[in-house]
A and B are shown apart, each in its own frame.
Chain A
Amino acid sequence: MAPDRACVLAWLRRSAQALHEQRQYLSDLDAAIGDGDHGINMDRGFTAVLDKLPAVAEADIGTILKTVGTTLVSTVGGASGPLYGTAFLRAGTALAGKQELQPSDVALGMDAALEGIMARGRAQRGEKTMVDALAPAVDAFKASINVGQPVADALEAAAAAGEQGMLATIPLVATKGRASYLGERSAGHQDPGATSVTLFLRAMQSGR
């Protein structure tokens, strides 16, 4: 069965739950190489998102995602607000008017989110950022649906690839954001942004 609006809303609620549970962990990762507020900021943002969801419960998927985007931009602050906000806004634009999603639609939304983050943050792969988890996840999702696997399997592949990408940020030297001020000293720490990306991916996978 194709994911519909209810699946998307359930995914957002699970994501909010995961961010809330991992709030301290994300902030601790951030404290090591940034300013230690990533978990606090994301939790604040998704608490605001949960408040907004009832108002768009009957809307199309594009509208729901755009609402998430504008809410994050308005409430998160720091660098993650504009980055996650842009990702959801672009995905929402790509999926405007959709009531349910074919596998190719999910790929379209993921691509738009990734491109949004890369454009807003002027980031490429391998710079110890959110991109390092999201890009391999999008690749894995597309490879999986291209060989005709069901969406649930493709989402599992995406989450696994994202987590691998997240772990691969540990030895990297940051060249973007506040972590870059540390230079070589940023190596040996897992990127908090890549980590929060995997929470969204995992929440998606357990949705089906």
Chain B
Amino acid sequence: MKKLINSPESVVKDELAGLAAAHADLLRVDFENQIVVRADAPVVGKVGIISGGGSGHEPMHGGFVGRGMLDAACPGEVFTSPVPDQMLAATRAVNGGAGVLHIVKNYTGDVLNFEMAAELAQADGIEVASVTIDDDVAVRDSLYTAGRRGVGTTVIAEKITGAAAAAGAPLQRVADLCRKVNASGRSMGMALTSCTVPAAGKPTFELGDDEMEIGIGIHGEPGRVRMKLGSASEIAEMLLSPILEDLPFRSGDSVLAFVNGMGGTPLIELYVMYNEVNRILTAKGIRITRNLIGSYITSLEMAGCSVTLVRLDDELTQLWDAPVHTPALRWRA
């Protein structure tokens, strides 16, 4: 294992210290509770928005704390759900009296820990709404599984709900918008290489030099199929077909196209992928009206990418365009 770390045990704390040192104008880190909190939280009268999950997906979620997006993030150990104490501390820290939205990715650990935290916060008299993101079309059978995993749409939902909360929308409205983004978004990912959890010291799974895994999860969960490496054009087809069929996206739709790097993929390859995505969607009469290209929801050093499409209307487009200033996303602010 070759990594830029001091020790596997200290990697999350060391990263948080770096985040705090770099972005003191936007956020602070409460090391006792292991949470990242917006510098001026709580904002009185504003709905607070928190999210969280295992570490190793940076910049998600800590890199999205700031103005116009998340009010707090709860990082767990690498690929391990945070605990309810963190979420409760974050909920208290961002409660400005208008209630708090929990954005939860659909993994059993995250769901159960957030559920306990919501119960504890409500017992404290804080109004909490929880929305689960489950956009990964690689998981087919939701009746006989824990359901679809939460992936790329999470980033879009955090931006859009953050804008709505900043504009003064009440809790139920912000929660409804989050559900709307989740209902409009679909994703699928693929891996060229595995990744190594620092505490484990060895790759999470094995993938041959000439192989790729289509439908990979962001913790290296198995995908739909393992096969010989294809071209960017073929891979784009394999990721987009199930996404397009599932919603379904139709000719005439306007979409936000998000081409995301898994952590070990250079931007040159992500633009090659974006070109393929654009070509396929154009041929189907689907218009990309907004895009996001870069590594925003990652799997440590895994090489590969995911594609997320979110169907946009005027409301979602305006909220996407609203000012945001966080370590990882910034425009018009």
Contact = CB atoms under 8 A, between A and B. Distances in A.
Contact of B108 (A76, A79, A182, A185): A79
B56 to A, nearest CB: 11
Residue of A36, A176, A178, A181 ringed by the most chain B CB atoms within 10 A: A181
Interface string A163-181: 0000000000101111011
A73 B107 contact: no
B178 interface: no
Given A77-B76, A185-B222, A180 B144 contact: yes
B122 to A, nearest CB: 16
Contact of A183 (B82, B84, B144, B149): B144
Contact of A76 (B83, B199, B200): B83
Nearest to A78: B109
B82 to A, nearest CB: 7
A121 interface: yes
B112 interface: yes
B113 interface: yes
A205 interface: no
B191 to A, nearest CB: 14
Interface in A182-200: 182-183, 185
A187 to B, nearest CB: 13
Interface string B120-150: 0000000000000000000101001110010
Nearest to B199: A40
Interface string B73-97: 0001101111111000000000000
A180 to B, nearest CB: 4
A74 to B, nearest CB: 5
B83 A178 contact: no
Given A79-B112, A82-B113, A83-B112, A181 B80 contact: no
Nearest to B217: A181
A120 B221 contact: no
Interface residues of A, number: 29
B115 interface: yes
Interface in B267-316: none
Contacts of A40: 199
B66 to A, nearest CB: 26
Contact of B79 (A35, A79, A175): A35
Interface residue SS majority, chain A:
helix
Contacts of B139: 181
B116 interface: yes
Contacts of B200: 36
Contact of B146 (A35, A77, A173, A181): A181
Contacts of A76: 83
A85 B222 contact: no
Contacts of B81: 77-79, 81
Given A73-B83, A74-B84, A178-B107, A81 B145 contact: no
Interface string A110-135: 00000000001100000000000000
A82 B221 contact: no
A144 interface: no
Interface string A44-86: 0000000000000000000000000000011111110111011
B46 interface: no
Contacts of B61: none
Contacts of B217: 181
Q: A-B pairs with the 5 shortest C-beta distances?
A: A82-B112, A180-B145, A78-B109, A79-B108, A79-B109
23 contacts: A35-B80, A35-B219, A37-B80, A73-B116, A74-B85, A75-B83, A77-B76, A77-B80, A78-B80, A78-B81, A82-B116, A86-B116, A121-B108, A121-B112, A176-B146, A177-B108, A178-B107, A181-B139, A181-B145, A181-B217, A181-B222, A183-B141, A183-B144
Interface of B: 76-77, 79-85, 107-109, 112-113, 115-116, 139, 141, 144-146, 149, 199-200, 217, 219, 221-222
